[in-house]
Each structure stands twice: as C-alpha cells, then as structure tokens.
Amino acid sequence: MSRAWLIGAGPGDVELLTLKAARTLALADVVLVDDLVNPEVLQFARGDAQIVHVGKRGGQQSTPQSEIVATMLDHLRAGRSVARLKGGDPFVFGRGGEEQQALQAAGIHVEIISGITAGIAAPAAVGIPVTHRDHAQGVIFVTGHGAGEHEADWRALAATHMTLVIYMGMRRLNEIVDALLRAGMPPDTPCAAIESATRPEQRHVRATLSEFVQRVAQAQLGSPSIVVIGGVASLAAPVDAMLKP
C-alpha cells in the first residue's frame, strides 16, 4: 500500500534533521526534493529509491506547483510510497498546506513530519533568541516575497513591537526597510541577516534599520537568507567572532 509524507529537512545542517524524518525517508520508494535541502540528507533514503529534484527557491525558476502535485499523484496511484522533502518545516512558507489539500482531495492520506524552520534556527545560529523578556514578547514570521495586493501590512507589523522574522526578503529588502521606516519604526532598531544558516558557508550582518540595506549590500549577502528585525537582533554574535575557528 502506497503512503505519502511531507517531510521537513530542517534549516541546512544535516544533523538538525529529526530522527523521525530520517527513519521515514528510509521507507519511501520515491523522494521529491526541494532545491534548498542539503544533499547530505539523502543519505537516509533507500539506496534504490527514485530521487526527483523539484527545485523550489524564491526569486528563481522553479518547478510549477501543479507539476509537483501531479508527479506525486502519479507515483502514489502506481502504488509507490512518496516522500516530499522540503527545507525547514513543510508548513512554514513551504506550500505544504497546498500539497496536503491536493493529496486529500485525491483521497490520499498524507503524514506530516515536522522540521526545524529556518526562522528559528537561523537566528539561533548567530545567538539571536526570537523572543526575550527584555526585547520582545512574541515573534511574527512573514514573507517578504509578496507585492501589490499580497504585500504584508508593514505598518501593522511595526506597531506590534514584536520580533519580525522575514523569509524570502532579500530581493525586496530596500522596499521592506523603507516601509518599516515610514511606518514609524525607529531608525536605530537592531537588525540582522543570516545567509546559509547552519551550513559551513554561513555568514551574517548586523546593523541598525537605517544602515541595514547598505551593510547587507556591502557584505554581498544573498539568498537563502533570513532577516531578523527587532531588539533581539542586538544579541547577535559579532561578525568577527563567528569567523574565528
């Protein structure tokens, strides 16, 4: 009997994969892998498993979502067990909810295997707690990928005084920062951007909101990166300290 799983591969470091995810991968006949998944995670797949790469990365050409779902359904209807392997957690900006709905509509039960989301792991990798009694009573996860009618309400977000953790925000960082400043967020608000978090190539930048875009550009940080805005970002380790062996 075929089975379906949506599996979170974690933020990058293969050792942050959960035990349940590793065990489940070993059961799948077919593994559909997102672009941001560390290839080392595939060591836990069966040696005879079919690996299908379905690149999904913000701002870059990606496999259409409809094609991914159709591929999953084709394999499942042929009696194969399918693992959909996603970076981070499948239900945090991973379209896992859409895939679950599509499979359920086809009468297929899908099991969710949670993963550590980059929105928590990336800040932690440089010493930033997303909540802290002295700085923030809560945290808001938001995508920076939207525009137009899909744009986040940055004025409302700024008014919460909570930590903002922004996924897929690098391409529009200048617009996001401008919107937060116009919304009244203080220019000296601490900010950080973490690139390739938990991986050997991890880098990060700290700056105030008014200097943030310039500092990120100077460091030539790119995607995948997580942006943290709020008092907790002041707790990030100095960049030089992270470079020491």
User: Active-site residue numbers?
Assistant: 34, 56, 168
List CB contacts of 218: < 8 A, sequence separation 6 or more.
Answer: none
Omega before residue 190 within 30° of 0, cis: no
Distance CA 232, CA 163 (A): 7
Q: 96-105 and 65-77 helices cross at what angle (nearest 10)?
A: 40
Give the DSSP H/E element, type plus range, for residue 238.
none
Contact 117, 63 (CB under 8 A): no
Tokens standing for residue 55:
């690149």
3-state DSSP call for residue 205? strand
**Rounded Cα gap, residues 232 and 189, in angstroms:** 10
Of 152, 202, 147, nearest to 180 by C-alpha is 152
C-alpha distances out from residue 135 to 94, 184, 207, 231, 242, Å: 28, 18, 16, 5, 23
The conformation of residue 75, written as its DSSP 8-state character, comes to: H
Q: Fill in the amino acid letter for 166.
A: I
Write down the residue that tokens 């991986």 correspond to. Answer: 199
